[in-house]
Amino acid sequence: MNGAAGTLTRLVHEMGAVALLASEAARSLCSRRWSLAEALRQLHHIGVQSQVVVLTTGAFTGMVLCAQTYFQFHKVKMDTAALSVVGVSMASELGPVLAGLMVAGRVGAAITAELGTMRVTEQIDALRTMAAHPVDHLVVPRLGATLAALPLLTIETVAIGIGAAHLVGTHLLGIEAAYSWHHMLYYTNPADLAIGLIKAFLFGGLIALIACHRGLTCDGGAEGVGRATNTTVVHACIAILISNFFLTLLLNAILA
């Protein structure tokens, strides 16, 4: 019981610390004390350099989803509806979740490693001695870049996933192209894409805040940086998967 209570206490403490960091970052973002040049540099690192892994994941997920849906729908002569399932699933669920998980693994770990190294080498303390707030110079540019990049990466993931699924369905599985595309457009509503983009925006915030928090509170030298990096990826992925469930219920009740 003590172990469970201690784990719950640590979890609540971590959530509170991330929430406090979010409030500090929001105040800093509104005060414009952060560097636009650094935010653009982070946007390139987080957004542009993450495209290959995100697009590859989206393409092959769309293809395998189309194939598996076709194998089931073909039994009841509903072949042309396979792409509709891909469209709805990619737009509202798989697109933001896959993009978020890939960015959490690639970018979240990098942010924690970078900030953690700065902390253990006392560079963050040096910033404070120069009256430079670490949240202004380190957290806000990364948070803003992640919030901007993840919805754009999600759009690319959705587009490449649907496009790859359409190619597989029509050229490999023999689905009639015109009817398949028509059904996908008919059943995939703008609300589905809106839900996906809202999720992506919130996932971006979760990834950046968890990564920055773990980096800024890292200790224990190089070993501590490694632990913090691993913890960031695990916590960010779990946060995305848990929040996705509640966001799905909430956003579908509001927008669908």
Query: For the CA atoms of 97, 103, 108, 110, what is the dihedral angle to 10 degrees?
Result: 170
pLDDT at 3: 65
Burial class (CB within 10 angstroms; exposed 0-12, middle 13-18, buried 19+) of 139:
buried
Is the residue at 149 inside a domain?
yes
Q: What is the pLDDT of residues 97-109, one digit of tens each?
A: 999 999 999 999 9
With tokens 């653009």, the residue in question is 40
Q: According to DSSP H, which parts of the chain are helical?
A: 2-31, 36-46, 51-73, 82-89, 95-103, 109-120, 123-129, 134, 140-167, 177-187, 190-216, 221-255
Domain count, the chain: 1
Q: Are 157 and 52 in contact (CB under 8 A)?
A: no
Three-state secondary structure of 107-127? HHHHHHHHHHHHHHCCHHHHH
Chain mean pLDDT for the chain: 90
Q: Is the pLDDT of residue 6 over 80?
A: no
Q: Output the pLDDT for position 127.
A: 79
Asked whether residue 112 is assigned to any structural domain, the reply reads yes
Find the range with the poorest average confidence among 147-151, 165-169, 224-228. Answer: 224-228
Task: Tell me whether residue 130 is in a domain.
Answer: yes
Contact present, 90 and 163 (Cβ < 8 Å):
no
Residue 29: inside a domain: no
For residue 163, being part of any structural domain is answered with: yes
Whether the per-residue pLDDT at 213 is higher than 70: the answer is: yes
Predicted local confidence at residue 256, as pLDDT: 66
Tens of pLDDT, residues 172-188: 998 999 999 999 999 99
Q: How far, rounded to the nearest angstrom, does the alpha carbon of residue 108 sit from its chain's CA centroid? A: 10
Give per-residue pLDDT as tens, 40-65: 999 999 999 999 999 999 999 999 99
- Within-domain flag for 16: no
Residues 145-156 have pLDDT tens digits of 999 999 999 999
Query: Which residue segment(s) compose the domain that 190 sits in?
Result: 40-255
Q: Is the pLDDT of residue 241 over 60?
A: yes
Sign of the Cα torsion 44, 45, 49, 51 reads negative
- Residue 96 pLDDT exceeds 90: yes
Residue 202 domain-assigned (yes or no)? yes
Q: What is the largest CA-CA distance in the chain?
A: 70
pLDDT surpasses 70 at 7: yes
Q: Is residue 35 part of a domain?
A: no
Task: Evaluate if pTM is beyond 0.85.
Answer: yes
